[in-house]
Amino acid sequence: MAEYFYIENPSQQGKLALSQDVFNDIVSSVIKQVHGVKMNEAKKGIFSSHKPVRCEIKNGKVTSFVEIKVAKNLTNEEIDKLVNTIKEEAYELVSMMTEVVPFSLEVKVVGIDNNL
């Protein structure tokens, strides 16, 4: 699995390398802007760590995975709407910031947060 996504410069004067952290930051910023949702907490153990947002770069495609918690008392329709909003805004932001990156986002609802 690659750690960078490379964009060829049209003028043939080099490549732009975007790290996994770039995509993680973009997805994290989207989550922070959507009301009724928050990212799951990161967990660190002695021998491992768990991050609520991660990215894979394979075969020239970027796939991000994010775990979220939703506000209490939301219906399934409202949760689906929030997930679609997150995906649309992430696609838009990645497209705007990187212009050519093939990108997909998997959103997993892992719990409910009573403080949202």
Tens digits of per-residue pLDDT, 36-45?
999 998 887 7
pTM: 0.85
Tens digits of per-residue pLDDT, 35-76?
999 999 888 777 667 789 999 999 889 999 999 999 999 999
CA-based nearest residue to 74, from 109, 30, 22: 109
Domain architecture of the chain: domains with CATH: 4-113 (3.30.70.1350)
Q: Confidence class of residue 16 from pLDDT cuts 50, 70 and 90?
A: confident
| Percentage, residues of the chain above pLDDT 90 | 66
Q: Across all residues in the chain, what is the average pLDDT?
A: 89
Given a cut of 70, is residue 32 above it in pLDDT?
A: yes
